[in-house]
Structure 1
């Protein structure tokens, strides 16, 4: 009995220490969002002895320090009265493994109700011993649950379930293109910080149901999915701006800017996926970004950029885009799960692509902004 009590005390202490680290935004920003790792990358694919990404085995969980599956998207519906509804959504699952301590699984769910001009979100976190992650040996795909929220999927066919007060989703997502491997081979390394595998499904078809204030609606739309994992720990300071852009000419762009603690941009990434699903990494000097407006949160007092002009001039991508939030307030204060505050929201896009008018939709994530 005493032996068991000593073990239990040590276990509880370990859990407490782990949760304290997880809830510290400066200790594990890698738990905050997909783009939390957003490392500085070279303009050439990383040369490494690590095994390459293989599908479907790498869709599921791994025995690495940090991992997440991150979904954002836009949906439309028509109710029984013929009224049109438009929504954005975010659903993300994190997994953190540390030594022989219980695994920590935070999750965030958000709905941008564009029709009502309202933003709602919820958070969950569970702590338990890991359920035998595959470490890339399984072909069973994704099967992750946090409370009654879940994602299951295989070969780019994913099923998402989540609910909160007044909203619930039950969605089927189907990848319309092959996964985009970032940095050329889907592997990003940053020295002593570790390594990260990173791929995106840049265009997924959405179909399913949304429960909106007890009204069940059939929804359709388009989603973006990020999956990132590896033995990495990123430490605090600075932040990033991350953009997923889906244009109506069937191309996609992923951008991010990393800032150091002084606010200086220290790394820029530009990924472009063409109509055939071929992915390109473009030189950072081809990109110019201008902030068009700002917004100050009435909840936290934090001021965020709130509108952008993006100009990319490269032989493979010549585009000028104006990006605007569909709602000003899409801020998540998630101290009880990942211990941080960030802005992530649905945006509209219009501009020109190779001299032709273009429009689109996307998501923007803003972290590291303080009062």
Structure 2
């Protein structure tokens, strides 16, 4: 498969056309209804329980189509940590690389300083360190017979690093199930080797490896939307394959205000407005250029991608569950369709679920509309989490006579976080909108009960 992948998936009957004269039966949302203030709200909200930025979308090179996600988040009001998720999908070779990395306070994460909060200064969002090559650790063998957590030693050029190991219980009793980096130390110019040493002479066989990963987003003051740079290093959780992203983004057109207003109340929450509301906007016409380095080859890439910024009282514990489809149609329309599924129980193929769509026209006119989503076969079941995800979803938006199908380009696109996995997948979209055939790029996101 080549970079013609997306075009090949589009309907053959007719090319996409610009949206012609169309009067939907509902009025648009007035721009004055938005509570989002750009560029100020592009900055950190220090009192928000959650605050996260993530880039997703499709990038193409000469002989490759890539899907990617670069996500940096603060869960200071929930888990008390910072968190990154980075993925790359090599569509043509059906390969998926992913990692999820926690950053623990106080040495790796400070909820007030990990991102810039002052809108009069240059903007940045940073987790991990591009220079110090120690960001986290992963267990490669659990060993057996341990009665106390083994001591974690770091062997390499650097000093001051500390970590702790965690023993399992039940079926994994006596095994090392996790290793946590407490202090990344200084001066690690290379990724160190990890040594797990029995604390009391009992147990053996546990092994772990260190990884280097980071996310660095930044822009000069006054250019947070027009000259955003994102550098990130992914270390694949299974294979250790490294993927380096060096990307630049320039938004063209107005921001995409989710729900038309940018805010939704959060049920059963008390406190200030950042505790009791969830705020959400996107940049859906980010013209991206840059480079992806994979397996010692540098790929110049380009595309039109999507960034979300969400902050406030998003959720607690394992968080809410949802399905979401983001669509960038070739007629210039952008759509975000989603529904919470926490209380729905198991979702069946062919089950139509009432959802909500935010639709933005090419001129920025925005509608908040009732919609319906119908997950369809085929499905894909993760060997890691056991979750079954839908590779195809049909979205119906009656107000625009829209019948759109979102279809994943590769099946295996899961972030496996024990107890809280999520499917984040590059996709295509095709179908009808406002009486014309259309197609485009899309994103398929599922956090299922």
Q: What's the counterpart of residue 271 of structure 1? A: 358
Give the stretch that moved more between structures: 153-162 or 168-177: 153-162
1:139 paired with 2:120, answer: yes
Q: Spell out the pairing of 1:59-208 with structure 2 (5 A cutoff).
A: 59-63=42-46, 64-78=48-62, 84-98=63-77, 104-127=81-104, 128-132=109-113, 137-140=118-121, 142-147=123-128, 148-153=214-219, 154-156=223-225, 157-164=227-234, 165-193=241-269, 194-208=276-290
For the residues of structure 1 that align with 2:252 and 2:373, how far apart are their CA atoms? Answer: 29
Larger Rg: 2
C-alpha distance 237-125 of structure 1, shift in aligned 2 (>3 A): closer
Over aligned residues, Cα RMSD in angstroms?
2.8
Q: What's the counterpart of residue 35 of structure 2? A: 52
Post-superposition offset of 1:131:
4.0
Post-superposition offset of 1:334:
2.5
For the residues of structure 2 that align with 1:280 and 1:141, how far apart are their CA atoms? Answer: 33
C-alpha distance 130-240 of structure 1, shift in aligned 2 (>3 A): closer
Q: What's the counterpart of residue 352 of structure 1? A: 432
Q: What's the counterpart of residue 15 of structure 1? A: none
For the residues of structure 2 that align with 1:213 and 1:298, how far apart are their CA atoms? Answer: 25
Deviations 1:290-336 (A, max 9, x none): 4232111233322111212222221xx2221222110011111134x
Structure 2 gap segments, 5+ residues each: 1-26, 129-213, 235-240, 270-275
Post-superposition offset of 1:184:
2.4
Deviations 1:82-122 (A, max 9, x none): xx1110000101112249x9x52100000010121101112
Deviations 1:32-62 (A, max 9, x none): xxxxxxxxxxx998xxxxx932121111111
Which is helix-richer, 1 or 2? 1
1:215 paired with 2:192, answer: no
Q: What's the counterpart of residue 20 of structure 2? A: none
C-alpha distance 138-267 of structure 1, shift in aligned 2 (>3 A): farther
Give the stretch that moved more between structures: 64-73 or 351-360: 351-360
Give the stretch that moved more between structures: 105-114 or 289-298: 289-298
For the residues of structure 2 that align with 1:253 and 1:359, how far apart are their CA atoms? Answer: 12
Post-superposition offset of 1:139:
3.3
Post-superposition offset of 1:166:
3.6
Q: What's the counterpart of residue 16 of structure 1? A: none
For the residues of structure 2 that align with 1:288 and 1:241, how far apart are their CA atoms? Answer: 9
Determine if contact 1:62/1:134 at 8 Å carries over to the other structure: no
Post-superposition offset of 1:200:
0.8
Post-superposition offset of 1:368:
2.2
For the residues of structure 2 that align with 1:151 and 1:68, how far apart are their CA atoms? Answer: 12
Determine if contact 2:76/2:82 at 8 Å carries over to the other structure: no
Q: TM-score, normalised by structure 2?
A: 0.63
For the residues of structure 2 that align with 1:313 and 1:118, how far apart are their CA atoms? Answer: 36
Structure 1 gap segments, 5+ residues each: 1-42, 46-50, 79-83
Q: Report the 3-state secondary structure (helix = DSSP H, G, I; strand = E; otherwise coil) of the residue aligned with 2:411.
A: coil
Q: Report the 3-state secondary structure (helix = DSSP H, G, I; strand = E; otherwise coil) of the residue aligned with 1:116.
A: coil
Q: Report the 3-state secondary structure (helix = DSSP H, G, I; strand = E; otherwise coil) of the residue aligned with 2:364.
A: coil
For the residues of structure 2 that align with 1:343 and 1:288, how far apart are their CA atoms? Answer: 17
Determine if contact 1:62/1:133 at 8 Å carries over to the other structure: no
Q: What's the counterpart of residue 446 of structure 2? A: 366
For the residues of structure 1 that align with 2:55 and 2:320, how far apart are their CA atoms? Answer: 24
For the residues of structure 1 that align with 2:113 and 2:386, how far apart are their CA atoms? Answer: 42
Q: TM-score, normalised by structure 1?
A: 0.76
Q: Report the 3-state secondary structure (helix = DSSP H, G, I; strand = E; otherwise coil) of the residue aligned with 1:58.
A: helix
For the residues of structure 2 that align with 1:303 and 1:129, how far apart are their CA atoms? Answer: 36
